[in-house]
């Protein structure tokens, strides 16, 4: 489950980099390749997060509802940060108890 939390952070951070670093570089400094590279990385991390999420649901570490919430969170900007803080935190507590 720790890897899923890590992937949630990576996916959310890659969106921050895309919006607040790569996009200004493209539009303010004429560097479109920044969006190309960071956008690819963000897309790959988005897919990786959802694959890891699906794996945890299949293995029974997460309920189907929590997996569905993770999928929805990955589609909403900054949703993976909230998902990690709210859903995965309580999932770890219930798995330990």
- Distance of alpha carbon 52 from the chain centroid: 10
Domain housing 24: 2-91
Is pLDDT at 94 greater than 80 in this prediction?
A: no
In a domain, 97, yes or no: no
- pTM confidence score: 0.88
In a domain, 19, yes or no: yes
* pLDDT at residue number 97: 43
> How many residues are present in the chain?
97
The mean pLDDT value of the chain amounts to 92
Based on the structure, what is the number of domains in the chain?
1
In a domain, 13, yes or no: yes
Closest CA to 61 of 92, 23, 36: 92
Distance of alpha carbon 32 from alpha carbon 10, whole angstroms: 22
pLDDT in tens, 9-49: 999 999 999 999 999 999 999 999 999 999 999 999 999 99
Mean pLDDT of all residues in 65-82: 95
């Amino acid at each position: 489950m720790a890897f899923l939390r890590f992937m949630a952070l990576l996916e959310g951070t890659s969106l921050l980099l895309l919006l607040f670093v790569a996009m200004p570089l493209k539009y303010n400094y004429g560097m479109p390749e920044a969006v190309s590279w960071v956008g690819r990385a963000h897309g790959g991390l988005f897919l990786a997060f959802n694959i890891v999420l699906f794996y945890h649901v299949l293995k029974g570490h997460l309920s189907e509802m929590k997996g569905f919430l993770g999928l929805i969170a990955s589609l909403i900007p900054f949703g993976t940060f909230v998902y990690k803080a709210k859903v995965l935190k309580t999932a770890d507590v219930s798995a330990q108890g």
